[in-house]
Amino acid sequence: MLSSEESLKILKETNALIEGHFILSSGLHSPQYVQCAQLMSKPSKALKLCISLSEKITKEIKEFDLILSPAMGGIIIGYEIGKLLNKETIFSERVNGEFKLRRDFSIEKNKKVLIVEDVITTGKSSLECAKLVNYFDAKIVGYACIIDRSKGNSLIKDKIVSQIKLDIPTYNKENLPTKLASIKAVKPGSRNL
């Protein structure tokens, strides 16, 4: 398994960890943003992180049937983890602002589902996926991600298996540090389109 230092090095080498002033999908502001699309655009480097994460998942979560990932960020990572662990992998998509299963995807009753994402900050997307799992009367066995930047403050109350934990500060709009307030804010990510 890769260490946190090795994982961080890969994030920096792939320009997946960027500096600036970002408004996150949660509405919070941050001086750094993780753009996993940059990581996933370099398959050989991304694969190293996915292999390491799959090893951690195998160690922590003994049995599951299906991987569910939220579009867009989680799709490639979910696929890679599914390929490495030989598990069926599906994804949810936003329809009128709410996650739905499309493309004839479904979840069989009582199936054990692992939710896999790229980055977890508040856990909102993962919990939206969890609603789908519950809707189909299936069981959530856990949550996994490449990067956990929740600092233990996620809305997810279950354990999160992650490749790396990043302690990136976040601020409310009203409490921005002067240095951050002097930089023009941008809204990266799929929810801000």
pTM of this prediction? 0.84
Peptide bond into 40 cis (omega under 30): no
What CATH topology corresponds to 4-192?
Rossmann fold (3.40.50)
Average pLDDT of the segment spanning 85-105: 92
Domain ranges (residues) in the chain: 4-192
Distance CA 113, CA 161 (A): 14
Higher pLDDT, 45 or 158: 45
pLDDT band per the 50, 70, 90 thresholds, residue 190: low
pLDDT of residue 189: 63
pLDDT of residue 193: 46
- String of DSSP letters for the chain: ---HHHHHHHHHHTT-EEEEEEE-TTS-EEEEEE-HHHHHTSHHHHHHHHHHHHHHHHHH----SEEEEETTHHHHHHHHHHHHHT-EEEEEEEETTEEEE-TT----TT-EEEEEEEEESS-HHHHHHHHHHHHTT-EEEEEEEEEE-STT--S--S-EEEEEE-----B-GGG--HHHHTS--B--SGGG-
Give every CB contact of residue 181 below 8 A, 6+ residues apart in sequence: none
pLDDT of residue 120: 86
18-65 pLDDT per residue, tens: 889 999 877 889 999 888 889 999 999 999 999 999 999 999 998 999
